[in-house]
Each structure stands twice: as structure tokens, then as C-alpha cells.
């Protein structure tokens, strides 16, 4: 558009009766690596010495787990408490904090949640309680109360009626329901009502 300052700012509101899907480009948000970090190789009880029902096989308090790749720190996981349930193939983290580092040693992605349930057999996970993931590369974050990760389809979803908010440093801010993050297609989708502001670079 002639006279444009280089950016167009559009306020988007999707009414409830329309139920229109809004798709936003997701270039890179490496949650996959963060979720995979929950797969910690605990020294569980041996066969014949399994913990009683209702009692975790292993409990770690003040957990600090670091993953190094090519001689550098690539991933760090902290949790106030970690429980390993061998029979359920689950690791439950409380007050979890994840950091992924780039090749320069700087923070690439950072996430936190009050609770993470990781299923080691499927590599799926349920994440809940003030969930926030920030991507330095995308200069933005996603916030929700509950998210579920399905590893086979590489999709991150929220319960149908739950609000999910996406913020970006360029001023974009979208809040809506029916959230799905498709990591194969690199898209964020709000299938329900959406409101907010989306900013894009004018060509």
C-alpha cells in the first residue's frame, strides 16, 4: 500500500457464530526437544522389587538435568520434584523449567509449567499450570493453562474451550480457543473464536 510505514497492523476478531479457523505461521518453536528432555533414565527398582501400588519407584527433589551435545550444553531441565512410575511408563515433574540453548550457548527456547506428565512409551505429555513457552528465535511466546503433546502427530493442543494466548515482540497478540500447534506443518491454529492484533511485514 502506498505510504505504508513498512508494517500493517490488523485487529482480528472472530465471532463465536463463525467458528472460523485462524492459521498463523509457526516458523520454529522447538517444544519437541523440551518435551523429550523429560525422558530421564532413572535407576528404578529391579524386577521383583517394584514399589507398592500408589508409590513412585523413584523420587528426586531439586532436580537439575543437563544434556550436552557436541561438547556444549544444549538442554537444561529443572524441577522441584520428579517422580518416576515404571509400571505406568510415566515421569511426573512438578514446577518444571526447561531451557534449550543454541550453538552460541544462548537461550533459544525457555518453558515452564507447574506440572508435566511425560509418557516414556509414547513420548506424549500433558503440561498444566501456568504453561509458558518463549522462543528467542521467533521473539514470542505461547501461554496456556493446559496443553497436551502428541509425539506421533507432532501436535500440541489445548482443551477445546480453553483460552491460549500468543504474544510476539512485534506487537502481535492473539487469544483464542480450539488451539492446535502442528509442528509438521509449522502452523498454529485457533479453531474457535479469536481476538487480538496480528502484525506482518508489508511487501
Domains (range + CATH), the chain: 1-29+160-203 (no CATH), 30-40+57-137 (2.60.450.10)
Please report which helix (H) or strand (E) contains residue 34, including its range.
helix 31-36
Give the model confidence (pLDDT) of 31-51 as tens digits. Answer: 444 544 444 444 443 333 444
Dump pLDDT digits (tens) for 74-126: 888 899 999 999 999 999 999 999 888 888 889 888 889 999 998 989 888 89
Beta-carbon contacts of 190 under 8 Å, excluding residues fewer than 6 positions away, are 14, 21, 22, 24, 164, 174, 176, 177, 178, 179
Residue among 166, 126, 174 nearest 147 (CA):
126
User: Which neighbouring-strand residues pair with 164?
Assistant: 176
Helix (H, G, I), strand (E, B) or coil at 33: helix
What pTM, to 2 d.p., does this model score? Answer: 0.73
Amino acid at each position: 500500500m502506498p505510504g505504508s510505514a513498512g508494517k500493517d497492523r490488523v485487529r482480528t476478531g472472530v465471532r463465536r457464530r463463525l467458528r472460523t479457523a485462524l492459521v498463523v505461521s509457526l516458523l520454529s518453536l522447538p517444544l519437541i526437544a523440551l518435551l523429550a528432555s523429560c525422558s530421564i533414565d532413572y535407576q528404578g527398582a529391579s524386577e521383583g522389587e517394584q514399589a507398592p501400588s500408589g508409590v513412585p519407584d523413584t523420587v528426586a527433589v531439586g532436580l537439575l538435568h543437563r544434556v550436552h551435545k557436541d561438547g556444549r550444553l544444549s538442554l537444561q531441565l529443572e524441577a522441584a520434584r520428579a517422580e518416576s512410575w515404571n509400571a505406568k511408563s510415566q515421569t511426573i515433574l512438578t514446577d518444571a523449567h526447561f531451557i534449550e540453548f543454541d550453538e552460541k550457548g544462548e537461550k533459544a527456547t525457555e518453558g515452564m509449567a507447574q506440572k508435566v506428565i511425560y509418557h516414556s512409551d509414547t513420548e506424549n505429555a500433558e503440561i498444566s499450570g501456568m504453561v509458558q513457552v518463549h522462543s528467542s528465535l521467533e521473539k514470542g511466546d505461547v501461554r496456556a493453562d493446559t496443553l497436551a503433546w502428541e509425539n506421533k502427530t507432532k501436535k500440541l493442543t489445548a482443551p477445546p474451550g480453553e483460552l491460549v494466548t500468543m504474544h510476539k515482540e512485534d506487537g502481535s497478540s492473539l487469544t483464542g480457543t480450539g488451539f492446535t500447534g502442528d509442528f509438521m506443518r509449522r502452523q498454529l491454529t485457533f479453531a474457535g473464536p479469536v481476538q487480538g492484533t496480528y502484525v506482518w511485514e508489508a511487501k
